[in-house]
Structure 1
Amino acid sequence: MTKEWLIGAVPVVIIFLLFMGINIGPILFIALIGALLYFTLNGQGPFGGNKRSKTSHEIKESVTTFDQIGGQERAKQELKEAIDFLKEDQLAKDYGIRPLKGILLTGPPGTGKTLMAKAAANYAEAAFVAASGSEFVEMYVGVGAGRIRDLFKEVKQLTEEKNLNRGIIFIDEIDAIGGKREGKQQKEYDQTLNQLLTEMDGMATNEQPRILIIAATNRKDMLDPALLRPGRFDRHIVVDLPDLTARKQILTIHFKQKPIDPKCDVDQVAKDTFGFSGAQLESVANEAAIYAFREKSPTITMLHISAAIDKVMMGEQTDKESTDEEKKRVAFHELGHAIVSEILRPHSVSQVVLTPRGGALGYVRQSPPKEQYLYTKSNIEEQIMVCLAGAVTEEIYYGERSTGSKNDFEQAMNYVHHMIDTGLSSLGIVTLEHLSKEQIQKEADAIISYLLEKTHQMLKKYDPVFHDSFQILLDEERMNGERFRELLHGNKNVKEIS
């Protein structure tokens, strides 16, 4: 009623002032400025965006379950345990357990952090409100802090409406508002973060409804220490890239509703997708189905899955028209990578491909025979040799390198710097910050020079394999790992030279 009364009264007042001969220009100007400030601070004006409705962040009902998330068994167990404290608060109290206030999910992109939060809400049978950290970033002081307060009000109102006694708030990309405070003049960010800290401090462990905050980030190192201390985000759960067993579970879930050929070996696909995230594995299954659809194939075959892996890993096949001389050079280059990889790490080569894809004119897809998380000096040197092998092969057969080795050299130098940083070089245990650029470059040059010569000597022995494989790769533009291994180990001339 007040709003309607004002709408009717304002024109009457303006007409009266005009009748009295009063200049209303300054009054209208001040009123306009006041209205703009009011609506901006409430998120309704042209600068503040649209004011969110009460249910703007609400995900009405989460249908995701933990069973639908492949792998991540440890992470799922820790998350379930934290929720059990919500569901069985009296039992937790009997044990003297202080219920957790916040759970921080960290890990690379695409590993399922958002899915985990949705599954947690389903498992908890709780009201679920989700928001992204970027929604709280505003140029006007106080707006972000107000939105944080609104978020906590929303989840409490939602629990009342649904007659629940617990709620979950999920904040994705929390590093957008929870970055380290370093004394810079970023008052809006500081106020938003301070408000979040205040709200978390105000969450009494015995109040109703009980609220649990789940946040996700790819950059835990950027977060302010005040967020990470016990009593706020009490538990930090790493949602990491899936291992072999987890990849098989994820692929099985995503292929379940697709017409996959019974001959398809999911175990082999899991091996071929080393280093893939859950999101990438879902994309592999989807792209394989698209390839089958294009060909009107009744089932998804291993050829479709192999093409999907290449697409997710390297990008879409391009229409680049290479000259015959370029194709020959690329064939030698990729065979060099494949030979060194297979000699140093048997059964690691999955495909040797001469078809342009993404930014590459050819590539070797490798599948490590075993998953390794701890590397010795020898392991890293082998990886560097695989990177250098393409350029060395070009030197052997063409007398010079080409620009196609640029990415190979970048990877090799990353491995070299990792060796130096981890104390595996001749410099011993050092801190990179305490070394000059000249010292680092001198050590890197020594390592690269030594491994270039070692790679050169190795590849010279396999000249017969190059000539056996070269024409096949040039004609067919693709060679699988098994066929390549037959050519590599079946050549008697190589055995004699070795």
Structure 2
Amino acid sequence: MSKYGKEILIGTIPVVLLFLLFIGVNIIPVIFMTVLLASLFYMTRMRGGNMGMGGERRGKVRTPAFLTFDEIGGQDRAKKELREALDFLIRYEEIQKLGIRPLKGILLTGPPGTGKTLMAKAAAHYTNSVFMAASGSEFVEMYVGVGASRIRDLFKEARNRASKENKDSAIVFIDEIDVIGGKRDGGQHREYDQTLNQLLTEMDGIHTAESPRILIMAATNRKEMLDSALLRPGRFDRHIEVDLPDKKGRLHILNIHAKNKPLAEGVSLETVAEETFGFSGAQLESVMNEAAIYAMRDDLESIEQRHLSLAVDKVMMGERTDRESTKEERDRVALHELGHAIVAEIVRPGSVSQVALSPRGKALGYVRHNPQQDQYLYTKEHLQQQIMIALGGAVAEEMFYGGRSTGSRNDFEQALNLVHTMMDCGLTNLGIIDRQMVTKEELMKENAAILEQLTEETRKVLEQHRSVFTQSLDILIHEEVLSGEQFRELLAGSELPQPA
């Protein structure tokens, strides 16, 4: 509307209202309807400014900054597999000669924080493609049909942008695809189902002889929740596992995040890589960041090894707290942690790095172990030893106090999970079983038998070293930290039995 048109409208409305009032018309309903229509008009304009055709939100489809595969650490196998898949876009004429059908979709799966989204960003730089990113939650609305409309517009815009920018291909990336790609329950009227159906339809129409070519990439850490129609060949042809990094990968990630941080002389990132088995890339980035924060707290210009050790503890267990406790509680916690440490040192000599009484996160104390080699296969003996270490704290409390405390809750959860692993892997007296096909009574009976046997073995080990508790307790209470060397010297004074 022009400037003069607005002025005429503003001047006309009061005149009309005064005229209606003069002739005796009740103008309250008229005013109410006018305000309501004006509000609807305003909301429609605001929604139109943020929405594109079909309800697509402008600004939600993002084009991230370029990232290369070299800047992503710890995923050599996944990067190699992804590059091979992306070569189908780059070397299109070559694969046509061999009769290879281009891939329609690539699904990146794996635990959170392993770099799935980073790899999708690197794919755009590698292929020189138009790259459009969206999250699964952006397609979910309470209004039926809106999500499906946004899917259509997303692919349409990808084709249009590729044509305008003279690109041969476009990559559409949907993060957290399990939000819209979950298993259907048979109903066809839910908004999620309609959005998924539209996505399946678009993927079926992706492979055409026309340019530009479109490849869809998606990421999820809950692959088991996805609908089977989405996972079949011809839709998501490649499922690439982006797993937790091994020691070499962890070292690579640490070096990447250490480039902009001043490290003191003698700092060994390899030691940190050994201590962080099971850490994701995001956790390793947090370790480097927290180490820098510790250095800043100490007013130092460089990060020392102790800062990195503190950062590992913080990421693993949480920040150190100032929680006050009674003397009896501190004694109980100290004996509890010494129980863990004694069993660990007996079954795996040299494994204890430190016994600490300082509260950190929800833990009132903890035992830090020396880094072990990365291990992915476990024997029955190894699992039993791990259960004994977990039970050592509760057994120590029983020895000195005649009962347990709530501090053993996490230890018992760990022990039960290990027993479940043994059952699933056929390492118990039940043999090779499916736990879903065995009665709960049988499972409980076997579970109790395993834990009772290992509890008694743990008790025997600790009773043989009762003197170590009393010798270590005073040091731990006064200094709050007992180093691995000090602890092993105390153990050396007693007769060490050979590991079972």
Partner of residue 87, structure 2: 84
User: Compared with structure 1, are the counterparts of its residues 272 and 150 closer, same or farther at alpha carbon in structure 2 (3 Å cutoff)?
Assistant: same
CA distance in 2, matches of 1:249, 1:303: 20
Q: Which amino acid aligns with 1:336?
A: G
CA distance in 1, matches of 2:42, 2:206: 30
1:94 aligns with 2:97: yes
Q: Which amino acid aligns with 2:346?
A: I
1:117-266, aligned counterparts within 5 Å? 117-184=120-187, 187-266=190-269
CA distance in 1, matches of 2:42, 2:143: 12
Query: Deviations 1:160-214 (Å, cap 9, x if unpaired)?
Result: 3433221111111000000001114652111100110111111124221111111
- Classify the secondary structure of the residue corresponding to 2:494: helix
Partner of residue 58, structure 1: 62
C-alpha deviation, 1:466, in angstroms: 2.6
- Classify the secondary structure of the residue corresponding to 1:171: strand
Runs of 4+, deviation exceeding 6 Å: 4-13, 15-26, 28-33, 35-40, 45-48
Partner of residue 363, structure 2: 360
- Classify the secondary structure of the residue corresponding to 1:130: strand
Question: What RMSD, in angstroms, separates the aligned Cα atoms of the two structures?
Answer: 3.5
Would you say the 8 A contact 1:390–1:405 is kept in 2? yes
User: Compared with structure 1, are the counterparts of its residues 146 and 108 closer, same or farther at alpha carbon in structure 2 (3 Å cutoff)?
Assistant: same
Partner of residue 318, structure 1: 321
C-alpha deviation, 1:16, in angstroms: 10
1:395-434, aligned counterparts within 5 Å? 395-434=398-437
- Classify the secondary structure of the residue corresponding to 1:167: strand
Query: Deviations 1:416-445 (Å, cap 9, x if unpaired)?
Result: 122223222111222222222222111111
CA distance in 1, matches of 2:50, 2:122: 37
CA distance in 1, matches of 2:455, 2:440: 22
2:482 to 471, 479, 484: 479
- Classify the secondary structure of the residue corresponding to 2:237: strand
What TM-score, normalized by structure 2, do the two folds share? 0.89
CA distance in 1, matches of 2:170, 2:372: 45
Would you say the 8 A contact 1:64–1:119 is kept in 2? yes
CA distance in 2, matches of 1:347, 1:36: 73
2:397 to 394, 399, 405: 394
CA distance in 2, matches of 1:241, 1:71: 8
C-alpha deviation, 1:301, in angstroms: 0.9
Query: Deviations 1:14-53 (Å, cap 9, x if unpaired)?
Result: x999999999979x979979x969988x9659999x9655
Would you say the 8 A contact 1:105–1:217 is kept in 2? yes
Would you say the 8 A contact 1:346–1:369 is kept in 2? no
CA distance in 1, matches of 2:254, 2:317: 19
What runs of 5+ residues in structure 1 fail to find an aligned partner?
none
Query: Deviations 1:211-255 (Å, cap 9, x if unpaired)?
Result: 111100010000000110111110000011111111111111111
CA distance in 1, matches of 2:485, 2:212: 60
Would you say the 8 A contact 1:385–1:451 is kept in 2? yes
Partner of residue 495, structure 2: 494
1:425-464, aligned counterparts within 5 Å? 425-464=428-467
Bigger Cα displacement from structure 2, 334-343 vs 282-291: 334-343
- Classify the secondary structure of the residue corresponding to 1:329: helix
Would you say the 8 A contact 2:56–2:149 is kept in 1? no
User: Compared with structure 1, are the counterparts of its residues 487 and 249 closer, same or farther at alpha carbon in structure 2 (3 Å cutoff)?
Assistant: farther
User: Compared with structure 1, are the counterparts of its residues 151 and 468 closer, same or farther at alpha carbon in structure 2 (3 Å cutoff)?
Assistant: same
What TM-score, normalized by structure 1, do the two folds share? 0.89
CA distance in 2, matches of 1:247, 1:403: 35
Would you say the 8 A contact 1:36–1:45 is kept in 2? no
- Classify the secondary structure of the residue corresponding to 1:493: coil
Query: Deviations 1:293-341 (Å, cap 9, x if unpaired)?
Result: 1111121111111111111111111121011221111111111112212
Would you say the 8 A contact 2:262–2:303 is kept in 1? yes
CA distance in 2, matches of 1:21, 1:190: 56
Bigger Cα displacement from structure 2, 446-455 vs 417-426: 417-426
Would you say the 8 A contact 2:320–2:358 is kept in 1? yes
User: Compared with structure 1, are the counterparts of its residues 315 and 193 closer, same or farther at alpha carbon in structure 2 (3 Å cutoff)?
Assistant: same
1:335 aligns with 2:338: yes
Would you say the 8 A contact 2:111–2:221 is kept in 1? yes
Query: Deviations 1:132-181 (Å, cap 9, x if unpaired)?
Result: 10111111100000111121122223223433221111111000000001
What runs of 5+ residues in structure 2 fail to find an aligned partner?
none
CA distance in 2, matches of 1:165, 1:364: 57
CA distance in 1, matches of 2:147, 2:436: 38
Bigger Cα displacement from structure 2, 242-251 vs 171-180: 242-251
C-alpha deviation, 1:94, in angstroms: 1.8
C-alpha deviation, 1:96, in angstroms: 1.8
1:470 aligns with 2:463: no
User: Compared with structure 1, are the counterparts of its residues 383 and 210 closer, same or farther at alpha carbon in structure 2 (3 Å cutoff)?
Assistant: same
Would you say the 8 A contact 1:464–1:494 is kept in 2? no
